[in-house]
Amino acid sequence: MKHRALLIVAGLVGAATLAVSLSVAAAGTSRPRTHATPAKSAAIVPPRVPNRAAIKAKYHGQKITFVGDSVGNGHVRDLALAKRFTKDTGIKVTVVPHPAASDQSYAQLARAFSSKSSSIDVAMIDVVWPGAFAPYLVNLKPKLAKQAKLHLASIVANDTIGGKLVAMPWFGDYGILYYRTDLLKKYGYTAPPKTWTQLFQMAKKIQDGEKKSNSNFAGFVFQGNAYEGLTCDALEWIASAGGGHYIDGGKVTIDNAKARTILDAFRTQIGKITPQGVTTYQEDQTEHAFDNGDAAFARNWPYQYGIGAGAGSKVAGKFGVTVLPHGAAGGSVGTVGGWQLAVSKFSKHKNAAIEFVRYMTSPGVEKFDAISNSNVPTIVSVAKNKAVVKTNPYLKPAIASVPRVTRPAKFLGTHYNEASKVIYQGVNQILTGTPASRVLPQIKSRLQQILNSK
Amino acid sequence: MSSVATPAPIPPRGRRTKLQRRQTRLGWLLLLPALAVVAFVAIYPLGKTVYQSFTNQEFLAGLTPTKWVGLHNYHALFHDTIFRDAIVLTLKFTAITVGFEFVLGLIIALVVNSSFKGRGLMRAVMLVPWAIPTVVAAKMWQWMLDDTYGVVNDLGTRIHFTLFGWHFHLLSHSHAWIADPSTQLASVSAVDIWKTTPFVALLLLAGLQVIPNDLYEAASVDGASKLQQFWRITLPLLRPAILVTLIFRTLDALRVFDVFSVFFGNRLGAQSMAVYDQGAIVQDGHVGYGAAVSVAIFLIISLFVVMYVTFVRVSEQ
């Protein structure tokens, strides 16, 4: 009996130790809040479904699964919209967030499609995927052609493969620079940096000053991890320095002097004006650092604006956005990102799924998403809406009209993911210390191999 | 009643008794479910993987027709420097982790095998790291090792001591343990050692408990020191348990995936063999090539199994 009592005590102590060790691990030093609430979420609610009575009559009671967002407050937004849709139509929507790294979520969808799984009805598709996934997606043209006309023609063209509209534009994306207005003023700057060199200098000066009172402070944060996001970031550095777009006109162009110079410039700044760990950062870590008041500059997508301006952010009212800096011989650019909604061919409730897509890509929802979540509307009239522009300053023409650069998906088709992996692995290698002159020739030959194998 | 019991000379083939034949048939019949299960869960997948490794099969089926390509994948694999790096890294990881886990595990096993107050409690508590799922443990350590917000750097730079008038900090400045290529292997190994040492200790403890106590008593009477007892009694009698432990741990370490995946994702020069294979199949979409990688990993692991088994045989003779 004594033995049993001892065992119980041991079990309890073990559980307590586990709890303590987990909470110690979670604590660290003041870890930034994971989810700050966006500013205007209280002011605007998910819109009602326009044609709800007709949908309810036809598809009431059907169940669909939506593989949706996970970055920032995306999942919260998806849940709110799905709830509204279910209430109005009687179609039950299960929302499943996809992996935060988009190459991982590509793999997840590829797995489902290649096994002809009916477990996914609606999926969120990156702007570089329609070519690869087209054979597995429902042609939305018969039902959604009219609504597609409202959206930006260039994105609709991107989502049209072989005459079939395989996905509907949902929200757009482009890289922008976030900067701390209060710190710029404090250190005697009147405007954000125009060139990368200026950014490095300003970041250094501000960091040197701020580190005295905040040891976690860094000048600049961006997406340096070896994943899809780095392909986007590095494209902006290289293109803005006149070094091309990895592949131009079907030829691999990445190994050139301008690309080498700008990549090496970034390499020498790692750990100097950035956290040393920036080579493991994705979007969320970037946003956390900036919104926790631990960075002077950040490169991120527009979604960060809403979180930064919202409750729980330490930098609300203290930051601005502008176009990204450029290299010595070039102009500012922004990598085209953005997400589409598509319906799986293996869905058992295609019509209900299409109605969900119709709702999610409607003007009402895009306006809601732009104001509550600061995502870029793909519907032209929504992007010009006064209330929308007011809450999303990056939609002002001065920022929104900056040249957009695209990742080389059209040259690579189904091999895009593999090629992007070669690019981001190589750039990450440069950032962690290997000179560009040693890495770029390798990237070039591997990209060439992939192009040849097509 | 069994055929083995019959003392009569074995009848020539084909002339076995009816009873014998019926029993053989029954034997096979009883074995059949087990054989079917083995064939289904082991032989079929392995055979299919080997078959796929000779094709150019793609992940997104239906886009390119699957063709037989002979040894093409193996030829490419032979020249694949990234996979070669993955093999070297995995072998280093295996050597480091299995070495540390064995030494630390043995020490812990010896401690909790001796009798002291609160021993039961100690045995339960030491298993806590092993009870945490690897991905959770890896995420936890990723936070703890973070250069800006991590508790390791925070404590390391705060803890300081004075020695002979000199002032020391445990860490002079925050370090990005995971991001820095020069400390990446150390950090990933540390997590594995922290997590798996209890398991090793448990296996060795089981081995220690079957060593009869009177051997030690007799040795003490004969005047053997504690150290002599360890080398002459404990270690030789623990050998079966040690071998089982080492085989288990080596095979596990060679297959490592989760910690590497959480810590480094797709970072070049930081991929274990399994991470590289997963990337080739699921991300690049090359099922055929990935199958060839799988076969290569299978062969490498088999090599270790053969080595261990041979070692056991030789040492038993």
Strand-pair partners of A126: A339
Question: What pLDDT sits at residue B315?
Answer: 75
Cβ-defined contact of B60 to A414 (cutoff 8 Å): yes
CA distances from A330 to A236, A268, B149 (A): 11, 21, 36
Q: For the whole model, what pTM was predicted?
A: 0.85
3-state helix, strand, coil split of chain A in percent (to 5) is: 50, 15, 30
Give alpha helix (H) positions in B42-133.
Answer: 44-52, 72-78, 81-113, 119-125, 128-131
Tally the domains of chain A: 1
Tokens matching residue B137? 């443990």
Nearest to A211 by CA among A319, A295, A279: A295
Asked whether residue A192 is domain-assigned, the answer is: no
Q: Which residue does chain B place closest to A11, by CA atoms?
A: B124
DSSP A199-236: HHHHHHHHHHHHTTT-TT-EEEE---SSSHHHHHHHHH
Cβ neighbours of residue B250 closer than 8 Å, sequence gap 6 or more = B94, B98, B304, B308
Tens digit of each residue's pLDDT (9 = 90 or more) over A42-71: 468 999 999 899 999 999 999 999 999 998
Mutate to test the interface with B, among A8, A20, A276 (most CBs of B within 10 A): A276
Cβ-defined contact of A425 to B63 (cutoff 8 Å): no
Q: Mean of the pLDDT values across residues A164-186?
A: 96
**Residue A61 Cα, gap to closest chain B Cα (Å):** 32
Whole-angstrom distance, CA of residue A361 vs CA of residue A194? 35
Asked whether residue A92 is domain-assigned, the answer is: yes
Tens digit of each residue's pLDDT (9 = 90 or more) over A367-407: 999 999 899 999 989 999 999 999 999 999 889 888 989 99
Asked whether residue A267 is domain-assigned, the answer is: no
Task: Tell me which residue range forms the domain holding A67.
Answer: 40-173+337-398
Q: Would you list which residues of chain B are within 8 Å, Cβ to Cβ, of chain A? A: 58-63, 120-121, 123-125, 127-128, 131-132, 140-141, 143-144, 146-151, 154, 174-176, 178-181, 264-269, 279, 282-286
Query: Residue B70, by phi and psi: left (phi above 0), alpha (psi -120 to 50) or beta?
Result: left
Nearest to A19 by CA among B152, B146, B189, B140: B140
DSSP B185: H
Q: Is the pLDDT of residue B253 over 90?
A: yes
What class is the B58-316 domain? mainly alpha
Q: Is the pLDDT of residue B163 over 90?
A: no
Q: Is the pLDDT of residue A205 over 60?
A: yes
Asked whether residue A8 is domain-assigned, the answer is: no
**Would you call A254 helix, strand, or coil by DSSP?**
coil
Asked whether residue A292 is domain-assigned, the answer is: no
Burial of A100 (0-12, 13-18, 19+ CB in 10 A): middle
**In A, which residues are within 8 Å of B286 by CB distance?**
418
Cβ-defined contact of A111 to B282 (cutoff 8 Å): yes
Question: What pLDDT sits at residue B173?
Answer: 83
Mutate to test the interface with A, among B72, B149, B187 (most CBs of A within 10 A): B149
* Other CB atoms within 10 A of residue B169 CB: 12
**Residue A279 Cα, gap to closest chain B Cα (Å):** 6
Tens digit of each residue's pLDDT (9 = 90 or more) over A339-364: 999 999 999 999 999 999 999 999 99
Cβ-defined contact of A110 to B264 (cutoff 8 Å): no
Strand-pair partners of A93: A64
Of the candidate ranges A370-384, A431-445, B156-170, the one whose mean pLDDT is the lowest = B156-170
Q: Which residue does chain A place closest to B56, by CA atoms?
A: A453
Q: Where are the domains of chain B?
A: 4-44, 58-316
* Other CB atoms within 10 A of residue B264 CB: 24
Asked whether residue A87 is domain-assigned, the answer is: yes
Asked whether residue A344 is domain-assigned, the answer is: yes
Quick one: how far is CA A308 from the chain centroid? 15
Asked whether residue A132 is domain-assigned, the answer is: yes
